[in-house]
Amino acid sequence: MCSENKMSGRGVYMATVVVNEKICDEHFLLRLYLAEFPSAAAGQFVQLQCRPPVAQAGAAEVARSEAGLPEFSSPELTDKESLLRRPLSLAGRRVSGDGVELEIIYRVVGTGTGWLAGTRAGQAVSVLGPLGNALPIIPDKPQVALVAGGVGIPPMIYMANALHNAGKSVTAFNGVRSKSLLPLSPGSEPISPEGLPRLCCSQFQSSDASAVVASDDGTVGYHGLVTEPFDAWLDGEAKAAAGLVVYSCGPEPMMRAVGEICIRRGIECYLSLERHMACGMGTCQSCIVKIRDDSPQGWSYKLCCTHGPAFDARDIIW
């Protein structure tokens, strides 16, 4: 199933589940082993086939019942319902033995991710990717803020790691609806209820990044929207705006608010968008984003899968 001699290496790969464990309500950590997989970077995603990979059976003789009727074993009758793959962002990639391990943190929202939640170690999963573009790391911006909400947090773990390796100083703002939905584990310091950055999340602490946690219901960290402690933090960092860049991933209203705050303050900001997509390869044309340009109408549709998933906040027309 591996791709053949592709320049970029992008292709369809067969993976084996190493770990698939629940890390909080609705969220699972999936670690996949692949004998080979191209280099990938934070911001990129893969398309997982959320059903058992089927061997092509077109040539096999159709089995018969005792009455001589064909026994239908077509995958559309035997598989779970989801036909299309599910786009999931990478939370990490590392070399493991002779191969590669990909880390994905996903939230169970429907049939496809529901099937994925039931996979066990050793099971095969078809992976298409890597897709999309890496989040841009800006050379002259030494300071970085990550603002994430819900299932937008996992790709920011990967990004924090990449930024740390690039020598950046990182602060991670994380918003959840409630404590039970926080896909992060404790660090060496307690989470600040005032929304102040602390070494309070192990996933970010490993990148020397302090973190803020906010919850809508006040069950963990700051009681309120994550954009509030983020905005307050910027007040203290205002002088550094020229050396600061912001990346955000999460629910669209949150990203929109983050974008508006940054535009108002003149801070460079990239929003990693989520769109329904069938292919992820640029052909189905479904994952459109309205982007400002210098055409007569002032905008054109760009594809989230091939042009994104991250876009400059100033360019997005909501």
Q: Pattern of binders to another protein over 42-81, x per CB under 8 A? A: -------x------xxxx-xx-----------xxx----x
Interaction between residue 126 and another protein (CB under 8 A): yes
Stretch that binds another protein, among 95-103, 188-196, 208-216, 285-293 (CB under 8 A): 285-293
Interaction between residue 256 and another protein (CB under 8 A): no
Q: Which of 288, 292, 307, 315 binds another protein (CB under 8 A)?
A: 288
> Which is closer to another protein, CB of 62 or CB of 242?
62
CB contact at 8 A, 154 and 288: no
Please, what is the Cα angle at 306 between 104 and 125, to 5 degrees?
35
Single-letter code of the amino acid located at 123? Q
Q: Which of 218, 253, 282, 298 binds another protein (CB under 8 A)?
A: 282
What is the closest distance, in whole angstroms, from the C-beta atom of residue 55 to another protein in the complex? 9
Stretch that binds another protein, among 15-23, 94-102, 149-157, 284-292 (CB under 8 A): 284-292
Interaction between residue 309 and another protein (CB under 8 A): no
Contacts of 94 (CB under 8 A, 6+ apart): 100, 101, 103
What is the closest distance, in whole angstroms, from the C-beta atom of residue 277 to another protein in the complex? 8
> Which is closer to another protein, CB of 214 or CB of 277?
277
Stretch that binds another protein, among 149-157, 222-230, 257-265, 271-279 (CB under 8 A): 271-279
Q: Which of 188, 202, 206, 286 binds another protein (CB under 8 A)?
A: 286
Site for another protein in 206-235 (CB under 8 A): none
Helices 252-265, 227-237: crossing angle, 10 deg rounding: 20
- List of residues contacting another protein (CB under 8 A): 1, 3-4, 6-12, 49, 56-59, 61-62, 74-76, 81-85, 126, 128, 275-279, 281-286, 288-289, 300-301, 306
